[in-house]
Amino acid sequence: MKTQNKPQTVLYLGGCRSGKSRLAEEYCRGHCKSRTYVATLTVSGDEEMKQRIELHTRQRGRNWHLVEEPFDLCGLLRSTGEDGVMLIDCLTMWLTNMLLADKTDAEVEGEVRELCVLLGNPPCTVVLVANEVGLGVVPESSLGRRFRDLAGWANQQVAASCQRVLFIAGGLPLVLKDEEVQG
């Protein structure tokens, strides 16, 4: 039986529109009353994306505290109290933000490693969402291949650091990892 008093780390991994965010939100609603939604997406004049964000905000409801943080997930985690759950949606967009900010692979890898260290002893329950991008075709551009490779590597590192990992396909979860929470 899992101990609910000790913070947990959970990764929801899947393709686009697979249902991973919905299932991650359901998990958070079922485990904690104090919920923080960390949005890593930045919107710059994209009307369709603004509409999607508004829809997701309405669907989540009012019982979430929203934090928009496109870069400093590690700083955010370090500054968080020990109550409730933090849902980070999504790691793939976080990586995209770093690549578009001209971070080197070494800088991106350093951020991922730091995140994994924090996930080893989280200040609160942390639920992460990420896209599995390696199931499709090989990207045509070098930037696309770089992104795919970094995302695949990052997903492996984060999955190794989390106690529970679920792969989502067609809205259905497949448990890949489920470790007992000590404490």
Domain ranges of the chain: 9-178
Which is the catalytic residue, given 29, 56, 103, 177? 56
The CATH code of domain 9-178 reads 3.40.50.300
Phi-psi region of 157 (alpha: psi -120 to 50; beta: other; left: phi over 0): alpha
Are 173 and 158 in contact, with CB atoms under 8 Å apart? no
Query: Is 56 one of the catalytic residues?
Result: yes
Greatest mean pLDDT range, 22-36, 47-61, 99-113: 99-113
Q: Is the pLDDT of residue 33 over 50?
A: yes
pTM for the full predicted model: 0.92
Query: What does the pLDDT average to over 124-143?
Result: 93
Confidence bin at 45 (pLDDT 50/70/90): confident
How far apart CA 125 and CA 45 sit, in angstroms, is: 33
